[in-house]
Amino acid sequence: MSMQSCAISLPEAPRLKVPLVFSDFNRLRWAVEALQVHPELRRHLLATVPASAPGSAPVLTDSVVMQSGAGLPEGRQPTHVVLWDGLNSLIEWRQRRPLPNAAEPRMVFVGQLPEAEAALPEGAWPLYPRGGTGAPLPAAGGPQLPWRPRWQAWLRRQVRPWQQRLRQPEVHRQLAEGGRLVFCGAVRHNRMLLDDSFRGARLAALRAGLDDLLDLPWDTEPQRAQARIVQAVGQLQRSAQDLRPWPEAADAAEWAGLFNVLNLLHRQQVLSLLAQRTGRLTVIEFGRQAHFDAYDAAAYRGNVYLDFGSTCGSEWLYPRRLDIERSGKQALAMRLLQPGQTLGDWLARQGPEGFVRQTEADAQRALSTARLG
């Protein structure tokens, strides 16, 4: 495995070099950007250095690196592991590398879902700061990437549009022309996504009952797809009625799985409604089309980017949101849950009927924002 690493200085301890070791370049830069806008996390990392080891620095890495056991510096520094898929990453890691709680490093997580957070180890911290959906992007007041990865990031942003012009000329033409609604990411369920969502959850009957969601044709057969999506929301609601509510942690894996599934259903429903109503929608489905990531490219600013949030939590800031905003692009938040809202509360209050109302409102808001409706 090719690791991406560097060492950075935090403004609270400028003489200390903090090692960062991540499983790919995007995760490295997302972690640095998180430290730039999250001073509380910086102070948390520094506070974990024992007084008996002055001058030692905390290490920030991710669960993929920890599973491989390669690339980490040797020493007794406190290690902080980023769980990019929240509780799901922790469950996967424990299944592959079971450790007693006392031996676990400290956790930093993406995926601020209250029910899932209740099951994270004591002392776990969110990678990104908490805040409301309408809050402005925090100023970048923390560390910078060293010059080599910073140059690499700048070059990628500049070169990617030229590469995409050659590899996928039609999509490049659409986005360069502007005036479109754009989403790049996972949309419909496949077997891997469904199985991953239910990792560690005791919901075998529900999982089996969702098999017909696989590759649901939200774009080519919208009416059939929309009817099945709404029916699936009812299935999730009924399953949730048997779960213990937040702040109980016993059913955290079940709540996390329900949120993963519901998040993709929300994307599918809104995109399906938009596909029926406008020809100026561009969707690049990860796993189904050639990879085309428009978010952190220097070009394509003349579009509206649909922000459905993280698949594992309801936080207002997460990696792709940072990419959109830092690249000067317009993001439209299409969040199913409000930050801090529990999934149990949403399902009890909304259910299938509320889901239909919310997705209709989301689709109309997107059309109005892009002046397409």
For the residues 359-371, what does the mean pLDDT come to? 93
| In the chain, alpha helices (H) | 25-37, 39-47, 63-68, 87-96, 114-117, 147-167, 169-177, 191-197, 204-209, 222-240, 252-277, 319-326, 343-349, 351-369
pLDDT at 41: 95
pLDDT at 371: 81
* Average pLDDT, rounded, for the chain: 90
Each residue of 7-29: pLDDT tens digit?
999 999 988 999 999 999 999 99
Beginning with the edge strand found earlier in the chain, give each strand of the sheet holding 304-307 in spatial order.
281-285, 181-185, 304-307, 330-333
pLDDT at 1: 52
Q: Is the pLDDT confidence value at 302 over 90?
A: yes
What would you report as the CA-atom Rg of the chain, rounded to the nearest whole angstrom? 21
Q: Is the pLDDT confidence value at 293 over 90?
A: no
Q: Is the pLDDT confidence value at 237 over 70?
A: yes
Beta bridge partners of 8: 18
For the residues 321-346, what does the mean pLDDT come to? 91
pLDDT at 131: 82
pLDDT at 213: 95
Q: Is the pLDDT confidence value at 267 over 70?
A: yes
Q: Is the pLDDT confidence value at 2 over 80?
A: no
- Residue ranges per structural domain of the chain: 4-126, 167-369
pLDDT at 66: 85
Structure-token pair, residue 261: 């599934």
Q: Is the pLDDT confidence value at 140 over 80?
A: no
Q: Is 336 helix (H, G, I), strand (E, B) or coil?
A: coil
Cβ(109)–Cβ(315) below 8 Å: no
pLDDT at 291: 81
- Asked which of 47-51, 194-198, 258-262, 363-367 is least confident by mean pLDDT, the reply is 47-51
Name the band, by pLDDT with cuts 50, 70 and 90, for residue 372: low
**Residue 204 DSSP symbol:** H
Name the band, by pLDDT with cuts 50, 70 and 90, for residue 111: very high
